[in-house]
Structure 1
């Protein structure tokens, strides 16, 4: 399990390590940065689970649920990515989005991982415009199919 490594010089949001002049073991810093970027770019998670999978596939990532167990103890709400040898944990930032393959929906981080609310289609009212309602339903359906809003 990779414990979070704090680098002396790193980016503010995701702690990606900077290289500095005269630095030894540059490959460690570059490889760590690339591993974190691989998890962060267009993030997709398999789902939200408490227990680390027994045989994860290289490149898979998960949201660590509460209460975390095993190698994930103390990593709640973080993204756990498997690189083939060890887990790398990423701290989410406010408004970060991931796609949850298990749910087929996006999740957003706001003081925890949340699902966006589903749109409410119009019903009732004193004047009913059936063409407008049909158009709204079609628009909502297309946005859901594109993954832009929850279904």
Structure 2
């Protein structure tokens, strides 16, 4: 099979190909592994002894046995044996063991990192881009005025981030 898709390396059917169901079923098995991916754990180097159909893991950096040569791939057990999906930049997988999303970033699986421009909870924006720092109060003849000014700035910043209501 030389004709494959660009991201998931799914086998493509060829014109006039005999036993198209073999190629089609292989593509479906890999899709089943990759779409809404969930793994039991990550970083394993040795395949489990008795995996169940549909279970998957993220292979460690130095795999052995049936996983040799599949470092960092998503490995899933199927009725037909091990299937592998090579990770690509931005790929996300749910890790049952970590209860976190793992994302493939710059050649490594990263756990729990969330990248966003704004956090919205219940339709209310609660955290946005970081604002300028608040200067610490210094000097002053009347501490109370300086403290009130600083507290006002802190409250305004919390409001602008949506962390407290305006």
TM-score, reference length from structure 2: 0.67
Question: Considering only aligned residues, what root-mean-square deviation do their CA atoms show, in Å?
Answer: 2.8
Deviations 1:75-107 (A, max 9, x none): 110110100341011111110000011000001
Confirm or deny that 1:50 pairs with 2:61: no
Cα deviation code 1:43-101 (max 9, x no counterpart): 00111112111111100110001221221122110110100341011111110000011
- Of Structure 1 and Structure 2, the greater strand share is in 2
Are residues 1:10 and 2:4 paired? yes
In the TM superposition, what are the counterparts of 1:1-151 in structure 2 within 5 Å? 7-48=1-42, 49-110=44-105, 111-117=107-113, 126-127=150-151, 128-129=154-155, 132=158, 136=163
Q: How far 1:113 sits from its partner (Å)?
A: 0.5
| Structure label with greater radius of gyration | 2
Deviation at 1:118, TM superposition (A): 7.1
Unaligned runs of 5+ residues in structure 1 are: 1-6, 138-151
Structure with the bigger RCO (C-alpha within 8 Å, sep 6+) is 1
Deviation, 1:115, is 1.8
> Please, what TM-score do these two structures have when normalized by structure 1?
0.73
Tell me the number of residue pairs that the alignment of Structure 1 and Structure 2 aligns: 129
Q: Does the residue aligned with 1:39 lie in a helix, a strand or coil?
A: helix
Deviant stretches of 4+, over 3 Å: 116-119
Q: Distance in 2 between matches of 1:38 and 1:67?
A: 25
| Unaligned runs of at least 5 residues, structure 2 | 116-126, 128-133, 135-149
